[in-house]
Amino acid sequence: ILLYSICFALSAILGTETSSKYEIKNHLGQRVYFAVEENDCFDRNLCSPIRSFTIRIADNTGREVITVNRPLRCNSCWFPCFLQELEVQSPPGTVAGYVVQNWDPFLPKFTIQNESKEDVLKIIGPYATCGCFEDVDFEVKALNEMSTIGKISKYWSGFVNNVFTNTANFGIQVPVDLDVKIKAVMIGACFLIVSMQNQEVGI
């Protein structure tokens, strides 16, 4: 699965945040979903990395198939009172699972949970997530954190895009036989990582 954010020239020129829009494509480069982020101007411009949002993901017919909800949760690496968390619904109105940030002073870590909030998988990112001139991989691991079964990758898309805009291209690689609900939650995890990409590691 490939996720492409759509850049708006006005946002890049004025330095203001606009509602994010994304194309989600399969491994052949064919668009399968279109995603739109919903939130208010205050959230986007003053709380950007920790902003609350609802992302509505629709198929090519315009039918909403996945809803991602993230509440506003203030946080710092030394006082982790409100670690980041989001809920994924698929279909909308039916909880598929959750993505929960785990506290770590050095590495970005997350837990993938099912609809009953039972831990299913772990995601562990690298110490440096800026990815200057190279891709950045967040490894998808079993609960014991020993075996790697997939990854979420932030692709280097050129100096101008990475330094002067908020556009980012991501890819998700998971086993084909992974539960379809957990695959939807993995898309939510990718959106959480996208929204937090401007934060320091561990925050």
pTM > 0.85: yes or no: no
pLDDT at 196: 81
DSSP, res 200? P
pLDDT at 87: 98
Which secondary-structure segment (H or E) carries 11?
helix 9-14
Query: Domain 2-195's class?
Result: mainly beta
Q: 158: helix, coil or strand? A: coil
pLDDT at 146: 93
**Per the omega criterion (within 30 degrees of 0), is the bond before 91 cis?**
yes
Per-residue pLDDT of the chain (203 residues; tens, 9 = 90+): 777 775 444 344 444 455 688 999 998 889 999 999 887 655 554 555 566 889 999 999 999 999 999 987 665 545 555 788 999 999 999 999 999 999 988 899 999 999 999 999 999 999 866 656 678 999 999 999 999 999 999 887 654 455 444 557 899 999 999 999 999 999 999 999 988 864 433 32
pLDDT at 48: 53
Contacts of 9-12 with C-beta under 8 Å, sequence gap 24+, read: 11/165, 11/166, 12/164, 12/165, 12/166
Query: Are 97 and 182 contacting, i.e. CB atoms less than 8 angstroms apart?
Result: yes
Whole-number Å distance between alpha carbons of 123 and 173 = 12
Domain definitions of the chain by residue range = 2-195
Q: 51: helix, coil or strand? A: coil
pLDDT at 203: 26
pLDDT at 9: 40
| Distances, alpha carbon 102 to alpha carbons 52, 115, 195, in Å | 18, 18, 16
| CB neighbour list of residue 146: distance below 8 Å, 6 or more residues apart | none
pLDDT at 201: 32
